[in-house]
Amino acid sequence: MATTVAQPRSFANPAKALPGRRYDHYFFSGTALMMLASVLVGFGPTYYFVGMLRAPLPSPIIHVHGALFSCWMLMLIAQNSLAWAGRVDIHRKLGLFGFVMACLMVVVGWIAATDRLVRGTAPPGVDTYFFYIVPMTDMVIFATLIFFAFRARRDPSAHKRIIYVATVGILIAAIARFPLSWLFHKAPHAAIVSYAFLVLLVAYDLWSTRKIHRATLWASGFLIFIQQIRLPIGKSAEWHSFAAGVRALFR
């Protein structure tokens, strides 16, 4: 009697059809260039295109602040390029220098914010004491995310995403200088526009792995939470009293 042998059934593994990390270098290098372009559009007319050293900035600390933050954007491009080229050894060594640079950026950022508070300047129509909370909390966000990025340096997928979100957090100053009336010198609006980069990251996660990376979730959530909660805090009498005390102390 003839015997029929059942052939094993094969099931396609949908996970193998997903792009995964194969396009990480394209995404993170491409978005780093987009971030750099945002900085050039925002600060080009008043800083880069007039000569960085010759730019009419109000105090020397602002020059240091601008130079450090410019170097960070170049570092971001360089690190992505090194990773793409497979030079992980140089990437890691340069990363230690980048961590030190980030720490300096936080310190200088706080000093620059206090310098502006003491000078009593703020965007048109914005209370000086209220505005002080914007750069101060930007540095809190940046410092916190850089700390966790350093801790996750042996987990490339988490590390690069935290660095990405940390950089989004410092783009507000550039975006708020775009030559658009509804955006120019409006930090809350600039924050909303900067979230486009977060949307891109979420979309890339979903496209490449069909899920949002946990680093994307918590880092983006932390960024948005701090940026939104600072608005009512900055308008409070307690914050105004604190900012006035800082101004009196360093005047």
Q: Would 186 be classed as within a structural domain? A: yes
Q: What's the confidence (pLDDT) of residue 16?
A: 56
Residue 8 inside a domain? The answer is no
Residues 86-104, mean pLDDT to the nearest whole number: 91
Q: Is residue 203 part of a domain?
A: yes
What's the pLDDT tens digit per position in 108-136? 999 999 999 999 988 888 899 999 999 99
Give the count of domains, the chain.
Answer: 1
Q: Does the residue 250 lie in any domain? A: no
The reply to whether 9 falls in a domain is no
**Does residue 101 lie within any of the structural domains?**
yes
Residues 8-59: pLDDT tens digits?
454 445 445 678 788 999 999 999 999 999 999 999 999 999 888 788 888 8
Within a domain: residue 16? no
> Does 192 or 53 have the greater pLDDT score?
192
Which residue range(s) make up the domain with 32?
Answer: 22-238
Full-model pTM: 0.89
Whole-number Å distance between alpha carbons of 92 and 79 = 9
Give the chain's mean pLDDT.
90
Kindly state whether residue 209 falls inside one of the protein's structural domains.
Answer: yes
